[in-house]
Every structure is written in C-alpha cells, then in structure tokens.
Structure 1
C-alpha cells in the first residue's frame, strides 16, 4: 500500500514538474550540431539551467522551470550571450547565430518581445536625451545662444517628449509581468554613467532610486542586475562631483539603507555585504569600508557568515590608531637571513612595515618585488620591513625570499600561523605600517600607496 502511494506521489510530482516547465525553442541556421547552454542568475552567481545541441538544421529546444523565473541567457563557445526573460511563457527565437545579434528575432513570447523592443529603443532615447541636455546648457548659459528663447523652449519640449514616450511604454506593461519590474530597474542600473556625465541634475534622484531598491527582492536576485546595482550605486556616489568628505557621508547613508533592507534575509545579507566590502576595498574607499565593517559586526539581527565576520573583524581589531600585536619569532622556524631579534618590538626603526604574502599568491608576485627596489630608500628614512610568508613548504619559502634584503619568516603553517591569526589576515598581500610603539599608522592597499606615504611624510 505504501509502495503504491509512493509511486503515485512520484508520478504526481513528475506531472507537476512537467506542467510547470516551459520551453525555449528556435533555430540558428549558422549553428548546426552546435552546443548551446541556457544559464540563469542566483544573486551574484550564475548557474546552468540546461544545455542542448542543435540538429543538422540548427533547431534547438530548452526547458526551464518556475525556480528559474527571472533572466537567463543563451551562450555558445563564441561567448556571445543572448538574454531572455524566463517568466513562465513559451519562447521562440530565430536567427543566424548568437554572434549575429542583429539577425535574432523573438517570434513567440510577449514579455521577451517587449524586452527586445525596449532594449533597442532605450539606448537611442538615452543618446538623444544626453544630446538635448548638452544643447540646453549651451542655450541657457552661453550668451551667444541664450537670447534664442524659441530654440530653448523647443529643446526642453523634446526632452520632455522623449521622457514621456519612455514612461508611456513602461507604464503600459501588464502589472503582473516580470518586465514591468525588470525594465525600469535595468534602466536605473544602466543609465548611471550617462546621468553622471550628461545629466548631473538627475544624480540626487538616481541615488535615491538606488536606495529605494529592495535588494532582497527575489526578482532582483534572479535578474543578473544585483552586482551592477551595487557597483553602479557606489560608483555614482563616488563620482557625484562632491567633496570626498561629503561622498563618504553619502556612502554611510547608502550603507545604512542597505543594512536595514537586507537584515531580514541572512543569505543575501552576507552575500551582498561580502561583495560590497571587497568593492570598497578595491576602490581604496577605506573610510567607507571601515564604516561598513563596524556596522555589520554590530548588526545583532543577522547572523554573519564566519568568513565574512573574520574579514570584517580586522577593521575593529586592526584599525588605524590601534596597537598591533607583538610578533614573537620561533627560532625553530625559518628565516631568509641571519636573525638577531626575538620579537617585533626589538626592531629599532622609527617605522616598521609588516607584510604578509606567499609564493603562491599572484598579487604578491606583482607587488613584493617592488618592496625590494624601494627598501634601500625606505631604510634610509627609518622604515624597516618584516615579511611573514604564508608557506607550507621550506623550498617554496627559500626560493621566494632568498633575494629579499629584509627579514622574512615562516613557520610553514600557512593560514594556521599564529601571527596570521593575531593580525586578522584573510587575504594576501596584507600590509601594515607601524610606528615604534606598534601603533597602526597605515593599512595601505598597495606598495605604491605606501611609498607615497613615505615620500610625503618622511621628507628629508
């Protein structure tokens, strides 16, 4: 009896999945017996939905399910993606090949037809708006043209007409359709550089629109826009033609808004915060990344992923102005040269650079050789260097550090090294500049930044 029930349940589940799945069919005449993949988005990552091989005439068919609803893309080994709206409708696509997008037509699927139409018209409207905005400034500010009131009124009228035409199209989309949400969001994300360059008067409104985005919305998570929304939001803040202090104040507001919005969803919270922190670090926006780190660590309504928590903890424990832990050198470990000190506090230089890196780290192989070239100059200005190598092999350590003129050390425990743990190192290279009291003076993002500090602050 139970066996029959199980078979029946499996059959019902199978039928349900079939009924809930939709097809993408079509023909690419130039892609005969060729593999095509259908990919989807999950937050900042992509995943494989399906793959197929075209027949001898270029025909193909995919299936996608309700769990894939959002945006997907077709791709071949030519690496030319073609985006589609996976909204639960049957889709038909025809053309020569993905590498010839101008030949591709949506022949079935209303939402994809609307998407295709808007994708072609929106860039042209944006270009026209930017051109009219440029002319409007000339006819407003240039005394040679400012007297031409009729022309100015015509320019302003055309700007208004273009915006109304765009809004009319978007408002006309069915309320329940995915594109009703997706197209305005895509418009917001994709127009950032144009707004900053040609229509700066729209910057405050655009920043506000980013802050009002629901970053935990499943539609955004499946849209392929999440990464661009984060990047473009903070790029616009950074390039809003305001003082650096004002930029950081605006970033704090945006960070607070994001934290409040994402706190109810721990998975997306951790994913977005991790990405945003790395983004701010790479852009050398350290004041903003420190603010983000401390805010996230103090966020009690959400469980922070262990890796993210450790990465952020470095800003609380190892922030500028704090005293760095003393480093005790185990005589049984490995040094690249004769060592006369037992601990970091034995170093008599006015300043000490403590650098963490490894032979297996590509960035370290780019950055650390420049320390070798700068060491003589730094040492003449009272700056010593201590290198902590995250190695697990003596030969790798010896080969990597044999030409370093400064003290290099490794206990061959890699990430399990106590010094690495004490300094909250989560990536390589990581660099700290300390004074004689081991106060953290600088956490440079690059050797160039550190060298600039030396040149500026230690002038002869």
Structure 2
C-alpha cells in the first residue's frame, strides 16, 4: 500500500496525471495514427498520440499543463481544434478531412465551440452583404429615396450583431471558452472590418491593445502569433496616412511593452517576433522604435541574439555618424580603385553594402546594384561593397564583375568593419552623406533606387 501511495504522490508532483481524455470514433480511419498537439506561444508541441483501432475507435489523454487549445491530426493532415479545459471530449465522424461528418457528442465547452464555429462565419458573411447594400441605399440616388429598405437593413444588422453578442454573453462564466471565443473573434475579424466595416477599426485596435501576452490563456490558445500579426496588419491597413500609421504603431508597442515586462520569457518571444514582422513589412520606423524601446527596458534581460540584432538600431540609426572605415588596399579586387579610408570618397552620397556570395538574397541584389551603378554614379551616389567572405577566391568569383569598389578582409562576421557597423544579416545597406551621416537604411535595392529617383531628380 505504501508503494502505491508513493507512486501516486510522485505522479502528482510531476504534474503528469492524465485525468482528461479525448475519445470517439472515425469510421474510415482504422489503424491510422492520430495525434493531439498543443500550443506554447509561437510554437506547438506534442501531447499524446495513439493508433485508431480496426473499428475506428481511439482515445487520447491530456493533463492540466495542456489547458488551452489543442488540435487533432491524422495522416490526412487536416486538423480539428478542441478546447482542452478539463472536460472529457467525445468526437465521432468519418475522418478529420470531412468536417461536415464530425460531431462533438460530449464536452459542453467543445459543443459550444463547435456551434459558434459554424454560426459565426455565416453571420459575418451576411453582415458584410448587408453592409454593402447599406452603402448603396445610403449613397446611390437611385436607391437613397427608399427609406424603408435602409431602415430594415440597419435593423437586421443590429439583430445579427446582438444575436452574436448574446451567444458570447451566455457562455458559462469562468470557463476557457468564455475568454477564447471573443478573442478568436477579434483576431479573425480584422480583414472583414478593414474592408467592410472601417467604422469599427478604432474600437478593434483598442481591443488589441488591451490583450495581455503574458496571459496563460493567450499563450496556450494558438492565437498568439495571429494576434500580433492581425493587430499590426490592421494598423497598416487602417486607411490612415503612413505617418499616422507609425504613430499608432508606437502607441500599440507601448501598450504591449507595459504588460510584457513582467514576464521575461514572453517579452523576448514577442519582441523578437514583432521586430521580424515589422522588418519583413518594411515598417522601419516602427521596428526602430521597438528596437530602442526594448534596448532601453531595464526590467527584462534581452537574449543575446535579439540584443545584437536590435543594437544596430541604436548605434546605426538615421542621423548618427557612421564609423569611418580603414581599408587595406590589397583587400580590394581592383588595385586601380583602392582607397585608404571611406572618407576619401569624393561623392555627395555613398552606399555601403554588406553582403556575400553565400547569401541567396545578395546574389539577387548585388547584380541589380551593378546594373543601376552608372545611373547612381551620374547623380553622385558612390557604392562600396563589403563582402563577408572567408576566402579570397569566393570573393573574387562573386565580385569581379561589379563596377563599384569591392572589398573583403576574409574574416566574415569577425571583421572589424562588420562589427563596427553592427551588421547581423546580409544584405545590409547604409546611405551616407559627405559627413558620413546615415540618411537612409534601405532594405532593398528597389527602395534605394526609388530614393535616387525621388530626391535626386533633375
């Protein structure tokens, strides 16, 4: 008896008691493996798996550590999402890919989830349709004289919204679904709101700013990444001028940081992902603001990779003076075009480009710069290419045809030049004036060429 008690106590201490289960029958999936996975922030993880028996029956288990959203996956790779909230769940159907055959027969929260997942998209579609008609009846002289239809449309839209709100309001208090469905509705609605209901944009942005990314319910919801992306997508597509968009993004970043600083792990996870998202969307003012905000935050320790990446924005932001570069003449390709230091270049502007032969994007961008070089040079824009190679032959093979100065000390990331300019990825470009003041950090050759066309037009 003591041995049994000891085993039970040990399992409880480890937190691995599988006290809840998902079971049921998929009639045309006998002998196939079915898996249950969950979410931790930006990542998913395996919870349990089993082989469906010959009659289509299966059973999977989960623990309190998995509370949140999970998904079932079989060999057809069609997931079914479930709420892992402490209840046993029974699911029957033919296969996961035939969602119309699937029915939740046990588990109150999952039944409600299934019902809302079917009804809410229909309401959204109808609201969009009514919204389209409402605009026509309100603005087109052919229809605007008809007041009764316009009133009826307004009343039907209100009825549909109230019906949806009433469903959410009636959800059992203190349950996961009570939090999850409104949050899922917020995240999934942004494209519809931006396109059909722009009047709802301000309140939707406020709702996003009120999200707490340290909330375990959000961390385990599968909505973690989507919430970040939807929030900033809506800001970008709000219809505001770009300057206003950036101001709104700064407000949103401040709101996120205020809550994130209490959880160092999530702080690093969110800021790392958001920074990458802003960079990918060429929202450089916002990414620079985020970088400086994170670097100046004393409450959390930033992981080294992220800190190094962000440091370039503090050290190499627009308006700063870029370090002069001291060259070794033998490290240039063309001996007739060597210089001793960057400041020796006699040109109004200089583009310093960091890249390498092993960088796929550089193999696209550097040849484009070569094509544009004569045009840029005619407008007094010089180019210096700093190659992050580790051997001379690779450097020469890659850069020998370029018409601009090309240089490599063969030290790759350990090069003093690379470290002085805080380069963490390739290609990286800086546009400098005669004083080496950084006036632009172009993300692409296309952006740099657009600057030349706009600011140096005759």
Q: TM-score range by the shorter chain?
A: over 0.9
The answer to whether residue 110 in structure 2 is matched with residue 112 in structure 1 is: yes
Residue by residue over 1:10-54, the C-alpha shift from the partner in whole angstroms, topping out at 9 and shown as x without a partner, is 542226756443222233333333333322111112222223333
The answer to whether residue 67 in structure 2 is matched with residue 69 in structure 1 is: yes
Aligned to 1:208: 206
CA apart distance, 1:367: 2.2
Aligned to 2:261: 263
Q: Distance in 1 between matches of 2:115 and 2:443?
A: 44
Q: 2:9 aligns with which of 3, 6, 12?
A: 12
Aligned to 1:378: 376
Q: Is the 8 A contact 2:208 2:231 kept in 1?
A: yes
Superposition map of 1:152-167 within 5 A: 152-167=150-165
Q: Distance in 2 between matches of 1:404 and 1:36?
A: 55
Q: Distance in 1 between matches of 2:95 and 2:401?
A: 54
Residue by residue over 1:132-180, the C-alpha shift from the partner in whole angstroms, topping out at 9 and shown as x without a partner, is 1222222223333233222222111111111111111111111121111
Q: 1:309 aligns with which of 307, 310, 334?
A: 307
Aligned to 1:127: 125
Aligned to 2:333: 336
Q: Distance in 1 between matches of 2:376 and 2:87?
A: 65
Deviates more, 1:421-430 or 1:190-199: 421-430
Q: 1:182 aligns with which of 172, 180, 183?
A: 180
Q: 1:404 aligns with which of 381, 402, 405?
A: 402
Aligned to 2:146: 148
CA apart distance, 1:212: 1.3
Q: Is the 8 A contact 2:329 2:338 kept in 1?
A: no
Unaligned ranges ≥5, structure 1:
none
Residue by residue over 1:228-267, the C-alpha shift from the partner in whole angstroms, topping out at 9 and shown as x without a partner, is 1111111111211222222222112111111112111111
Deviates more, 1:228-237 or 1:284-293: 284-293
Deviates more, 1:169-178 or 1:286-295: 286-295
Deviates more, 1:202-211 or 1:134-143: 134-143
Aligned to 2:438: 440
Q: Distance in 2 between matches of 1:138 and 1:30?
A: 49
Deviates more, 1:350-359 or 1:6-15: 6-15
Deviates more, 1:38-47 or 1:180-189: 38-47
**Deviation beyond 6 Å, 4+ runs, structure 1:** 4-7
Q: Is the 8 A contact 2:325 2:342 kept in 1?
A: yes
Aligned to 2:192: 194
Aligned residues: 456
Q: Distance in 1 between matches of 2:50 and 2:181?
A: 29
Is the partner of 1:51 in helix, strand or coil? Answer: strand
Q: Output the TM-score relative to the length of structure 2.
A: 0.93
Q: Is the 8 A contact 2:332 2:338 kept in 1?
A: no
Q: Distance in 1 between matches of 2:437 and 2:4?
A: 69
> Once superposed, what is the RMSD of the aligned Cα atoms?
2.2
Aligned to 2:323: 325
Aligned to 1:414: 412
Residue by residue over 1:286-324, the C-alpha shift from the partner in whole angstroms, topping out at 9 and shown as x without a partner, is 222222222222222222222222222212211111111
Q: Distance in 2 between matches of 1:410 and 1:459?
A: 33
Q: Distance in 2 between matches of 1:411 and 1:383?
A: 24
Residue by residue over 1:164-208, the C-alpha shift from the partner in whole angstroms, topping out at 9 and shown as x without a partner, is 111111111111211110000000010011111111111111111
Unaligned ranges ≥5, structure 2:
none
Cα separation, partners in 2 of 1:94 and 1:361, compared to 1, 3 Å: farther
Q: Distance in 2 between matches of 1:5 and 1:417?
A: 65
Superposition map of 1:80-95 within 5 A: 80-95=78-93
Aligned to 1:431: 429
Superposition map of 1:20-39 within 5 A: 20-39=18-37
Q: Distance in 1 between matches of 2:126 and 2:213?
A: 31
CA apart distance, 1:5: 8.8
